[in-house]
Chains A and B, each alone.
Chain A
Amino acid sequence: MSTLPQPVEELLTAALVGELTVVDSTDRPVTYPLIPLYDGSRIYLTSSTLFSRKLEHIKANPKVALSITDPNAIGGRADRVTIQGDARVIDEDPHAGWERLLPVWEAKEPAIVAFLKARVALPLFFERSLIEITPRRALYWVDGDAATAPVVSDAERTAA
Chain B
Amino acid sequence: MTATVGTTPRVPALTAKGGLMKLATYPFQVLSYVDADGYPVSVAVAATIDPAARSASFALPAGLAVPSGVDVSLTGSHIRPQPGYGYDERRHVTVWGRAARDGDLVTFEAARAWGWDEAEVPFFEYSERSIGQSRKYFDALSAERGSPVKPRLSAGSLALRTTRLPFLSATIVPVVLGIAIAARQGTFDLLTAVLTVIGASFVQLGLNVANDVFDSAQGADDANVTPTKFSGGSRVIQYGLVTFRQMAGLATGFYVAAAVVGVVLLALRPSTALLAIGVAGFIVSIGYTAPPLKLVYRGLGEIAVALGFGPLMLLGAYVVQTGGSLSWEPLVASLPIALLVALILYVNEIPDRRGDARAGKRTLPVRWSKAAVIAGYRSAAVAAYVILVVAVAARILPIPALLALLTVPLALRVSRGLEPNYDNPYGLMAVMGVNIKVHLYAGLLLLAGYGLVLLLGAVAPSLASALG
Chain A interface (Cβ within 8 Å of chain B)?
16-17, 19, 21-23, 26-31, 33, 48-53, 55-56, 61, 63-65, 67, 69-70, 72-73, 80, 82, 84-85, 91, 94-95, 108-112, 119-125, 127, 136-137, 139, 141, 144, 146-150
Please determine whether A16 and B77 come into contact, CB atoms closer than 8 angstroms: no
Which 5 A-B residue pairs are closest in the complex by CB-CB distance? Answer: A149-B63, A109-B86, A67-B42, A146-B61, A21-B40
Question: Which of B62, B75, B138 touches A146 (beta carbons < 8 Å)?
Answer: B62
Residues of B23-78 at the interface with A, using a CB-CB cut-off of 8 Å, are 28, 30, 32-34, 37-45, 59, 61-64, 70-73, 75, 77-78
Chain B interface residue count, Cβ-Cβ cutoff 8 angstroms: 58
Q: Collect the chain B residues with CB atoms within 8 Å of residue A27's CB.
A: 34, 70-71
Instruction: Encode B143-168 as 1/0 by CB contact (under 8 A) with A.
Output: 00000010111000100110000000
Please determine whether A29 and B32 come into contact, CB atoms closer than 8 angstroms: yes
Please determine whether B43 and A139 come into contact, CB atoms closer than 8 angstroms: yes
The dominant DSSP class at the B interface is mixed
Chain B interface (Cβ within 8 Å of chain A)?
28, 30, 32-34, 37-45, 59, 61-64, 70-73, 75, 77-81, 84-87, 90, 92, 94, 96, 124, 127, 130-131, 133-134, 136-138, 140-141, 149, 151-153, 157, 160-161, 229, 239, 241
Please determine whether B79 and A70 come into contact, CB atoms closer than 8 angstroms: yes
Number of residue pairs spanning A and B whose beta carbons lie under 8 angstroms apart: 177
Please determine whether B71 and A26 come into contact, CB atoms closer than 8 angstroms: yes
> Once bound together, how far apart are the Cα atoms of A112 and B86, in whole Å?
8
Q: Collect the chain B residues with CB atoms within 8 Å of residue A95's CB.
A: 151-152
Please determine whether A120 and B160 come into contact, CB atoms closer than 8 angstroms: yes
B69 to A: closest C-beta gap in Å:
12
Please determine whether A136 and B39 come into contact, CB atoms closer than 8 angstroms: yes
Please determine whether B161 and A16 come into contact, CB atoms closer than 8 angstroms: no
B454 to A: closest C-beta gap in Å:
38
Please determine whether A110 and B77 come into contact, CB atoms closer than 8 angstroms: no
15 cross-chain CB contacts under 8 A: A17-B79, A31-B32, A49-B151, A65-B42, A73-B81, A82-B41, A84-B41, A94-B149, A111-B85, A122-B124, A123-B153, A141-B43, A144-B44, A146-B45, A149-B63
Please determine whether A49 and B138 come into contact, CB atoms closer than 8 angstroms: yes
Q: Collect the chain A residues with CB atoms within 8 Å of residue B32's CB.
A: 19, 21, 29, 31, 65
> Once bound together, how far apart are the Cα atoms of A33 and B75, in whole Å?
10
Please determine whether B59 and A147 come into contact, CB atoms closer than 8 angstroms: yes
Please determine whether B75 and A31 come into contact, CB atoms closer than 8 angstroms: yes
> Once bound together, how far apart are the Cα atoms of A149 and B63, in whole Å?
5
Please determine whether B94 and A31 come into contact, CB atoms closer than 8 angstroms: yes
A39 to B: closest C-beta gap in Å:
20
